[in-house]
Every structure is written in structure tokens, then in C-alpha cells.
Amino acid sequence: MPNIENKSMTVEEKKAVEELRRRFVNELKQEYLKDDNMFLRFLRARDYNLNKAEDMLRNHLQWREKLDIDNIDTYSPPEVTKYFPLSLVCFSKDGNPVRYISFGTMDAKGLLKSTPKKDSLKAVVQQLEFDIKRMKQNNKLTGQNVDQWIYIFDFENYSFAKATHKPNGWKDELLDMVAAGDLPKFLGGTKTDKNGDPRCPSFVNMGGVVPQSYYSRSNARRLRNQPDVTKLHVPRMSKVEVSLDVEEPGSCIEWEFETENRDIGFGLYYQCDESLKSKPKELIPSQRVDAHMNCETGLYQCGKPGTYILLFDNSYSWLQQKEIFCRAVVLAACRNTVLSRIVRRYNITPKTYCLKRVPYCSYYKFLF
């Protein structure tokens, strides 16, 4: 992959980019190391303070790893995300992706009731990652150095807009950046659908009301009245651990839990029997999950015997304690037993179990 060189950088900017690149030379993939624009974005965001830019970039890389952003192309977002009013409408005269976001027609409450925040975030990030790839492809074809977007936020019919200043002349400003033939007519351009519709619904998503059939679940709780379910109380600003002893390598831990209300942090840790005083090893990074909306379910195959710890983290909540209904078991170290469990539990076949995302499964990992 050729260097993505930003020829418009000043001498000082080039020096800063090279220094920031040097600090990550053993940590980043080559495609990122060669991208001047990436380093420049983080430098600009921190006013060219190298140490702050480095910290910001490291946090960004950790976030990408946690959400598996490098493999976001393979992510299948929930069907309800078709109600996200986020549309790529065209490219500007300079080659910038132009996205239209219709906040006024978005059913925010319906979306929140229908999908976990994590899935909503990944669905949006998937679109933005697509834009980045398109920009890089266009840069190769045109020789340009485009690294920015144009966002059109439409607050028409949005109650907050009534309390804000709405300047005139925004259509003229858009036409300075975007060719009239590429811009939908309702945004000031001349482009319409084939049937003459100026709002271009064939490629502009206006969102709309989310049908209640997409809502994740009713007030009835799936776990609370089932056998072998433990009720946990996690006080505010506290954590609660559930320990499982695994004797055989290859055994699987299966868990499911839901909260009475609000989200909860969840992670999985490992501690060898011989080192109970040592710090447990992180297997699944703790992250907040919307277990009040969906029953969180997961499987993890254990490579070593020892103590595995399910961590429920409420340390971020200053006011609210959390009630959790949880069930966790250790499955015997038998490949056929585990596979049959997967087939029965998640209604998938052994040939596809490692490729298909388990519904509402926060994490799954198999070693065989």
C-alpha cells in the first residue's frame, strides 16, 4: 500500500506527524503507519501537543480493539437500524463524503427500546468506516488528499430546534461545496428521484417511527422466575463477582443475565489456582451492556483449569444500585456436548456456529 501522504502539511506538521508515527512504529499495522492523515487528525484534535495526541490515539486504538472495528465489515446490524436516518447522499466537489442526518424524523425512543446501545454504535461506526474506505479509494484514483466529511444535520420538526438559532443561507453554503446535480433538491440542489420526488427516498433515509414489533421485550422478565437463577444486588459505585471453578481444559462457561432496570458493566477474568493473590487476567474487557433490554447470553471455552470470574461492575453509577438475575454453568470438556448445546440453545448448525453471531450473545469464543 503506497503512503497516504498529505502534501499540504507545513514543515512543523510533518515533523509532528513523523514523531507521532515513530511512537507507534511497533504497534500499528502498516496501512495505518503510512497514513499521514490519521496522525494529523489526532494532532489537530490536541492542538499539536504530542503527548496528548499520543494518549488520545492509544485510547482510540483500545476502543477499536474492544469493538473489533477492524472487522466491522463482517458485522450484521439488527434490522431495526434501517430506521437510523443516516444517509450518504453524494460527494462534494472536493471529494468529501456528504451525509444527511434527519434528526427531526428519527424515533429515538423506539430505537433505544429496540436495540442495545452497543449495536446502535457499531451500526453507525460501520457506515463511517465505509466512508473512510471510499475516501481512500477516491484519493488513489484522483490523487487528492481528502480526509474530512460534510454532515448535514436536519432538525426540522425536532423540538430542540425551536430553541436554537436557525440561520438563513445554508443552501447557498452547501452549493459552494457540493455540485447542484449531486445534491437532493430539498437540500438546495437539483437532484430528484426518477419519479421526480425532491426528497429522494430511494437513497435518503428519513427514519420514521419504529414499529413496536421491533421492541426488544415486554415488561415480563425471562429469567427471574426460572430455576437455578441467582439474584444479585450490586450497590452503587461497587462491583460483584461470581466465581466458577473449572477443572478440565476445554470446558465451557455459559452465562445469561438480565437486570431489573438500567445497564450494568460486565467482564470475564481468569485466575490460576496457584496465584489467588495475583491480579486476575482479563479475558473479556468490562463494558456496559443493556441487560435491562435483552437477556445477555454468552459462551466461553476455557483453555486452562482455574477460577473464572464473572464481574458485574456498577462502579460508574453514583446513585443507582442494580439488581441482576444471573445463571452461570460450567459445561463438561466434551466437544460433542458443547456443540449439541450450541445447536439446541441458539438454533444454529455445527457447520456455522463459529461464523454466525448468536442472538443477544455478548461474547462467544471456541478453541476447537
CA distance 163 to 230: 48
Q: How far is residue 344 from each of residues 229, 296, 335, 349, 367, measured CA to CA in Å?
A: 20, 17, 14, 9, 20
Nearest to 59 by CA among 73, 47, 42: 42
Q: Dihedral, CA atoms, 98, 104, 107, 112, nearest 10 degrees?
A: 70
Percent over 90 (pLDDT), the chain: 25
Q: What is the pairing mode between strands 252-259 and 296-301?
A: antiparallel
Calculate the dihedral angle through the C-alpha atoms of 79, 81, 85, 91, rounding to the nearest 10 degrees: -90
pLDDT value of position 43: 93
pLDDT value for 334 = 55
The most confident of the ranges 18-27, 30-39, 92-101, 224-233 is 18-27
User: Residue written as cell 447470553?
Assistant: 297
| Residue 42 pLDDT level (bands cut at 50, 70, 90) | very high
Would you place residue 5 in the very low, low, confident or very high pLDDT band (cuts 50, 70, 90)?
A: low
pLDDT tens for 197-235 read: 998 989 898 888 888 887 765 444 577 778 788 899 999
Among positive and negative, which fits the CA dihedral 141, 147, 150, 153?
positive
**Separation of alpha carbons 354 and 335, rounded Å:** 13
- Angle in degrees, CA 163, 165, 169, rounded to 5: 145
